[in-house]
Amino acid sequence: MLSIAVIGGGAAGMTAALAAASRGAAVSVYERQTRVGRKLAVTGNGRCNLTNLHASPEHYHGEEPDFVLPALRRMDAAGTLERFRSLGLLTVTEPDGRVYPLSNTAGSVVDVLRFALEGAGVRVLTGAEVRLVQKEKNGFRVLSDIGSHPADRVVVACGGLAGERFGGTGLGYRLLKELGHSCTPLRQGLVQLRSSSPFCRSLKGVRADALARVFHGSELLAEAAGEVQFTDYGLSGPVIFELSRAALSVPGTRVSLDLVRELPEEELRDLLLARSRGTPFLPLEDVFVGTVQNRLGHVLVRSAGLDLKKTLSALTGAEAVRLAQEAKHFSFPVTGDMGMPNAQVTVGGIRTSEFDPETLESRLCTGLYACGEVLDVDGDCGGYNLQWAWSSGFLAGSSAAEGNHA
């Protein structure tokens, strides 16, 4: 029986192991942490955004974005959901195509995969960090914390550097480099942004729905709408992750937030003036009540250079315009990001030109396969990175079990 060693028990590795086992191979998964799927269990803020129905090459980046195509064809988002359903996982799809488990818990995704590995007879070896993979005359030798074992084929699914607390390491790059592969420069992707805005501290913990735009000077680089989270260092939240690539593409960008995207600026100005006429006795700190969150409203008044204690009866037309402008174009100069340990994905990785996209087998070392984040593929925010892990894991695992070489 063909023996396959899968190195890494994350999303890609577990999928590869299941695909290989279902084709009759004897599969061992080596996982350095004490349990499989640790990172998967914290994805999507604990909800796991497991895929996106719009997954296609335009949502992926790397030296060769089309590299993802054969893997996505072999198992697309719909195919992935079918497979999960067959494992007993029900899902819900949001209007923007993001898919979550019906249980709303990332742990359910890990659990159904764990059960499936057990059901398929896959040997799951935890606390087993692989230190070296040696190419031998007939196959490989895998040297790990638990000893030295032979394998006919090896699938490297070690993930990337992002999310260090949940298992992000550079070990996969090292193992593959030792087998002759090369790596593109690595940096963090889908990451929180630091800002020099003086208002970050006062807004810490506030969340808002906004249309966020990234500008470089007057040039609009990107925009997206959804939840923004204010933090003491700057900005976070799904929309910020999505825009981080554009915001960090050149120095000196800024994020401009439209916090009242339902209303044009003039209508917002009229709304504020109507409040000043209806309740002239209120202080200016109440002018945005009912429009944005109170703490955010106070900061907008301060940012417009107005006094919170002044009464609304004294609000001039020009001041109302200034307030409306602040709410529609609340600006955060970008000064950096929160670094690889806090990022969701690694930009860069092992060169895809060194792998056959149809099988994910190495072009440099027969019988060696790679999948998931360790390769130079990173996806947009919204379930695309996990879809790459599922699709590439499935392709690598099936090819390793099907491939016909000595």
Residues lying near ligand FAD in the complex (CB under 6 A) = 7-13, 30-33, 38-40, 42-44, 48-49, 129-130, 157-159, 162-163, 166-167, 169, 171-172, 344-345, 372-373, 383-386, 389
Task: At 158, give phi and psi (nearest 5°).
Answer: -85, 0
Task: For residues 132 and 147, give the distance between their C-alpha atoms in angstroms, rounded to a whole number.
Answer: 11
Strands 98-101 and 51-52: antiparallel
> What distance lies between CA 29 and its chain's CA centroid?
24
CB of 340 to ligand FAD, least distance (A): 10
Burial class (CB in 10 A: 0-12, 13-18, 19+), 218: exposed
CB of 15 to ligand FAD, least distance (A): 8
Nearer to ligand FAD, 240 or 389 (CB): 389
3-state secondary structure of 369: strand
Task: For residues 382 and 17, give the distance between their C-alpha atoms in angstroms, rounded to a whole number.
Answer: 25
CB of 348 to ligand FAD, least distance (A): 13
Task: For residues 375 and 391, give the distance between their C-alpha atoms in angstroms, rounded to a whole number.
Answer: 13
Angle (CA) 351-357-359 rounded to 5° is: 120
Task: For residues 251 and 253, give the distance between their C-alpha atoms in angstroms, rounded to a whole number.
Answer: 6
Beta strands in 48-179 (DSSP E): 51-52, 60-61, 91-93, 98-101, 123-126, 130-136, 139-144, 147-151, 153-156
Nearer to ligand FAD, 10 or 397 (CB): 10
Nearer to ligand FAD, 49 or 231 (CB): 49
Nearer to ligand FAD, 45 or 316 (CB): 45
Kindly tell me the number of DSSP H helices and DSSP E strands found in the chain.
11, 21
Q: 255 and 244 in contact (C-beta within 8 Å)?
A: no
Taking residue 325's Cβ as centre, other Cβ atoms within 10 Å add up to 16
Q: 332 and 255 in contact (C-beta within 8 Å)?
A: yes
Which residue lies nearest ligand FAD, judged by its C-beta? 10
**Which residues contact residue 235 at a Cβ distance below 8 angstroms, ignoring those fewer than 6 apart?**
192, 193, 195, 228, 229, 255, 332
Task: For residues 330 and 16, give the distance between their C-alpha atoms in angstroms, rounded to a whole number.
Answer: 46
Nearer to ligand FAD, 13 or 297 (CB): 13
CB of 389 to ligand FAD, least distance (A): 4
Nearer to ligand FAD, 7 or 243 (CB): 7
Nearer to ligand FAD, 129 or 356 (CB): 129
Nearer to ligand FAD, 167 or 234 (CB): 167
CB of 32 to ligand FAD, least distance (A): 4
Cα–Cα nearest to 346, from 62, 7, 13, 45: 62
CB of 338 to ligand FAD, least distance (A): 11
Cα–Cα nearest to 144, from 3, 16, 5, 12: 5
CB of 360 to ligand FAD, least distance (A): 12
CB of 171 to ligand FAD, least distance (A): 4
Nearer to ligand FAD, 291 or 344 (CB): 344
CB of 381 to ligand FAD, least distance (A): 8
CB of 194 to ligand FAD, least distance (A): 18
Nearer to ligand FAD, 43 or 197 (CB): 43
